[in-house]
Amino acid sequence: MGIDERKFRILQAIIDDYILTAIPVGSRTISKKYETSLSSATIRNEMSDLEELGYLDQPHVSAGRVPSPKAYRLYVDQLLQQGKILAANQESIRAHFQDRARQMEDVIGHAAQVLSSLTHYTALVMSPKGTELRVRNVQLVPVSSSSALLVIVTDGGIMRDAVIRVGGEMDVEALYAISRMLTDRLSGRTLSEARQVLSGEPEEASRRQQMLSEIAEFIGEVEKQNAVGKLAVGGSSNILNFPEYSDVEKAKSFLSVLETKEKLLQLLEQNREMAFTVRIGPETGIPELVDCSLVTASYRLGNQTQGTVGVIGPTRMQYGQVLGILRAMGEQLSRLLEQDKE
Amino acid sequence: MGIDERKFRILQAIIDDYILTAIPVGSRTISKKYETSLSSATIRNEMSDLEELGYLDQPHVSAGRVPSPKAYRLYVDQLLQQGKILAANQESIRAHFQDRARQMEDVIGHAAQVLSSLTHYTALVMSPKGTELRVRNVQLVPVSSSSALLVIVTDGGIMRDAVIRVGGEMDVEALYAISRMLTDRLSGRTLSEARQVLSGEPEEASRRQQMLSEIAEFIGEVEKQNAVGKLAVGGSSNILNFPEYSDVEKAKSFLSVLETKEKLLQLLEQNREMAFTVRIGPETGIPELVDCSLVTASYRLGNQTQGTVGVIGPTRMQYGQVLGILRAMGEQLSRLLEQDKE
DNA sequence: TGTTAGCACTCGACATCATTGAGTGCTAAC
DNA sequence: GTTAGCACTCAATGATGTCGAGTGCTAACA
């Protein structure tokens, strides 16, 4: 038994209605609101078939039907295939980024807020990872007589800093000379290459040598920190708008997941190359999120995925709308990166 | 009618019990668990008095009594007066900060996590404000041929950066010269002084002049951004552990407040000079937090308050314990600042 | 004058029970 | 293949009764 066109229409009607109301939908509802040419009895037969096929679940015997993850999957695939994901709200989103924020962290925080208020779901925004960053410039800035600030400029426009102890005093000129030397030696290399270059230095136990190894160590830390992007979460409390989370226990476990950023990052990492991903219920792989869906879109610089924006909500999510908004947001962020790069 | 010693003991017993159980406490409970030498009838008389005095509320006529904010206030004042706030968990907190985090933002985020997991309430940690920062060093680091990264080192060890457009090309040496000039001119000044110095420059429409004014503008932004500290929130979902928030509507409004960081910052700003503050229920001034309390402690560098750590929980909070933990956390953060300063 | 025992009263919490209504599955007729 | 009809199921709702914790008051006691 396959799923013919009429079955599909009915399924779609059920999903649409359930997304709107969160109430199990019965045969009469469909017959009255969507398929007026069919009687409820006919619908019942079809629904019975759809249940057998695994597209519908029945909370209990005398309740209406509820779409299963499999149904949402079909629904979304259809959506994606049709390529109907228009970049909605383009203008309104752009408006939110008028005042150029200088720091990436502000940008992703802001983006998460905007996204959550547009969708009414919980928003996740991941900043660019830094694995492939290349060094452009290295500079030591004197802080006190015995310490200096190490600034590493990379091509991401991103920059990291740390206070490095300079054994004994070292004057401005000396620091400057070292900076030039380091820049010469390291520029164009990735962070891990740079670290290797520094570590490979001959072991002369001089002050300078000690400083270099401290720098190498620091680069290692930066690498580690940057290997995972930063994450901003917006609208965590939005989930409580939905009746499926009026159970406090459920809400709590959901919110707890939001607080462990590692899990979320891992989640956003998967399939990061895809322009869009939709993970429905169990597909998220996180037990606490079994009746949530995660929709993500990537943003890019050139051809390379830089980061991911996503939305988490109940499985009965307004997929079409969310995909549209995510697309717009992704494009906006891509554009932002572009112009930062200049 | 005053509040004699026995009344106070009874009130304290009621508060202690209610903090533990969240169940309105009746006269028999007190007579059995706390004041075994008195009968429940006597306790009842005293409780009746205490209610009349405004220290107790009665949810409904045949229920036990619940402490009013006024009661908590008395309780806490007593606690504070006795100076019994020992820095608890000193060691365990110190252990959490073993691996020195380099960036202030990581530190406050981490602190919020630790604080929330120790107290089981929601934690707030505010980073140092930067109003009174003094410039130590200014450096322009070349990024591309037409832009440079501006790095300003201040005495907070804190540093801000931005990409500045350099009109036309400018070689490394030129940037370096400008950096030295700026450092000479600005070091020792506060940010706002520095901005004034730059803005006061004669209007020569040269490239350099344009760059300087861009720098001045940037300093202005930094000032604005830094005027409010950064805020980290930890354990937002902890509030759901408490029965008073098993009502989803309440939980939602609480969590919504947590998402508007401005309000929280404002809250933490008040009385920032105090070593400790305790705001109970309505005293917070935020309607959504009427049955929450906010306890804060400050951390310092020298004699100056740098930032604030705080805990939000239900009014029936374990004030003693929380104050102890906050104190320890504050001291730990102060120490951290100290050693960063070196 | 303060303390206590006793007692009537109140009221939320909880369990029970009947009612209602939405929805199904099945069958027979169209 | 579609539809009307009907019996059946079951969650939700609301009424009812009981239970128990807790109070306030009074009278007796030390």
Query: Residue A50, CB, less than 7 Å from strand C?
Result: no
Where is mean pLDDT largest: A5-19, A158-172, B124-138?
A5-19
pLDDT-derived band at B85 (thresholds 50, 70, 90) equals confident
* Pair of tokens at residue A163: 């206070």
Q: How many CB atoms lie within 10 A of CB B269?
A: 13
pLDDT the model gives residue A131: 62
pLDDT the model gives residue B341: 58
Query: Residue B234, CB, less than 7 Å from strand D?
Result: no
SS3 labels along B214-255: HHHHHHHHHHHHHHCCCEEEECHHHHHHCHHHCCHHHHHHHH
User: Distance between terminal CA atoms of chain A?
Assistant: 57
Evaluate whether B142 touches B172 at the Cβ level (below 8 Å).
Answer: yes
Whole-angstrom Cα distance, residue A228 to residue A231? Answer: 9
pLDDT-derived band at A127 (thresholds 50, 70, 90) equals confident
Number of H helices and E strands in chain A, helices first, is 12, 10
- The least confident of A163-167, A280-284, B27-31 is A163-167
Cα angle A239, A125, B96 (rounded to 5 degrees) comes to: 90
**CB of A149 within 8 Å of any CB in chain B?**
yes
pLDDT-derived band at A12 (thresholds 50, 70, 90) equals very high
- The least confident of A24-38, A216-230, B152-166, B247-261 is B152-166
Mean pLDDT (whole number) for A37-45: 96
CA distances from residue A133 to A216, A299, A300, B32, B106 in whole angstroms, order as listed: 16, 17, 15, 69, 21
Question: Which residue, chain included where needed, has tokens 């706002």?
Answer: B192
Set of chain B residues whose Cβ sits within 8 Å of the Cβ of A162: 102
- The least confident of A80-84, A312-316, B225-229 is B225-229
Whole-angstrom Cα distance, residue A320 to residue A329? Answer: 14
The three-class DSSP label of residue A57 is: strand
Mean pLDDT (whole number) for A230-249: 93
**CB of A120 within 8 Å of any CB in chain B?**
no
Q: Is the pLDDT of residue B124 over 80?
A: yes
CA A58 / C1′ D13 distance in Å: 22
Set of chain A residues whose Cβ sits within 8 Å of the Cβ of B159: 149, 161
Q: Is A157 left (phi over 0), alpha (psi -120 to 50) or beta?
A: left
Mean pLDDT (whole number) for A28-53: 96
Q: Is the pLDDT of residue B102 over 60?
A: no
Q: Is the pLDDT of residue B157 over 60?
A: no
Residue of B99, B110, B139, B165 best to disrupt the A interface, most CBs of A under 10 A: B139
Residue A65 DSSP symbol: B
pLDDT the model gives residue A190: 84
pLDDT per residue as tens digits for the range B185-221 = 888 888 788 888 877 766 566 667 777 787 888 787 7
pLDDT per residue as tens digits for the range A279-317 = 999 999 999 999 999 999 999 988 888 899 999 999 999
pTM for the model stands at 0.87
Inspect the interface and report whether the beta carbons of B157 and A143 lie closer than 8 Å.
Answer: yes
Whole-angstrom Cα distance, residue A2 to residue A12? Answer: 16
Burial class of residue B142 in the structure, from the number of CB atoms within 10 Å of its CB (0-12 exposed, 13-18 middle, 19+ buried): buried
Q: Is the pLDDT of residue B94 over 90?
A: no
pLDDT the model gives residue B162: 65
pLDDT per residue as tens digits for the range A202-211 = 656 666 777 7
- The least confident of A135-144, B114-123, B197-206 is B197-206
pLDDT the model gives residue A34: 96
* Pair of tokens at residue B177: 């010269």
Q: How many residues does chain A have?
A: 342
Whole-angstrom Cα distance, residue B179 to residue B153? Answer: 12
Inspect the interface and report whether the beta carbons of B162 and A102 lie closer than 8 Å.
Answer: yes
* Pair of tokens at residue A295: 């929709």
Evaluate whether A11 touches A50 at the Cβ level (below 8 Å).
Answer: yes
Q: Is the pLDDT of residue A102 over 70?
A: no
pLDDT the model gives residue A196: 83
Whole-angstrom Cα distance, residue A39 to residue B6? Answer: 76
* Pair of tokens at residue B46: 């005293």
pLDDT-derived band at A1 (thresholds 50, 70, 90) equals low
Average pLDDT of chain B to the nearest whole number: 86
DSSP code per residue over B164-204: EE-SS---HHHHHHHHHHHHHHHTTSBHHHHHHHHHTS---
Q: Is the pLDDT of residue A99 over 70?
A: no
Q: Which of residues 4-43 of B touch strand D (CB under 7 A)?
A: 23-29, 40-41
Q: Where are the extended beta strands (E) located within chain B?
A: 56-57, 66-67, 122-126, 135-144, 147-154, 159-165, 231-234, 276-280, 292-301, 304-314
Q: Residue B129: enclosing H or E segment and its boundaries? A: none
Give the side-chain half-sphere CA count within 13 A for A143: 26
